[in-house]
Structure 1
Amino acid sequence: MKRSAFLGLATLALALGACSKLTVENYDKLKMGMSYGEVKQLLGAPDKCSDLLAVKSCTWGNDARYVQVNFVSDQVVLFTSSNLR
């Protein structure tokens, strides 16, 4: 019984990982001037955001694999990524 539970959890983890919106294909769809709402629809809710003066910086992912997008007046002005595959 324990083996089947482990296999079920492993399958679920793989399925959830495959559904991630943090992909090269979605990163390539990011464009300057997109709104925060458009980016959120494309990548999902960000994992963290911070505001400094007029710049909102949001990150999707973690320190090892991420997309970071900077917004000014609710529009994309800069975006970068690391370790997307």
Structure 2
Amino acid sequence: MRLRSLVLLLGCVVLAACGKVNQENYAKLYSGMSKAEVEDLLGKPSECSGALGMSSCTWGDQVSFISVQYAGDKVIMFSAKGLK
């Protein structure tokens, strides 16, 4: 019974995180937004990488995702795939 509860809880956490990766939130992104504003909108990113003041963060998975590129703390580009 305990394992079943753990699996259910994990499933809810995953669905809640993916729930913000949608067309509605993508439409709210704009160039010049701060990282904090993007994270307030989309939550914590799935992964980030970068160097020399440039960075890129992704929310979602391989099928449905939003990708945001930053220069310093500001959005310079963003793209998406598979949003509903």
How would you bin the TM-score normalised by the shorter chain? 0.7 to 0.9
Structure number with greater Rg is 1
RMSD of Structure 2 on Structure 1 (CA): 2.4
Q: Does 2:21 align with 1:27?
A: no
What is the percentage of aligned positions where both structures have the same residue?
A: 41
List structure 1 segments (4+ residues) > 4 angstroms apart after TM superposition. Answer: none
Structure 1: gaps of 5 or more residues: none
1:44 alignment counterpart: 43
Q: Distance in 2 between matches of 1:51 and 1:17?
A: 27
The aligned length equals 79
Gap regions ≥5 residues in structure 2? none
Task: Encode CA deviations 1:53-72: one digit per residue, 9 max, x unaligned.
Answer: 22110000111110000011
Q: Which residue of 2 aligns with 1:67?
A: 66
Q: How does the TM-score come out when normalised to structure 1?
A: 0.78
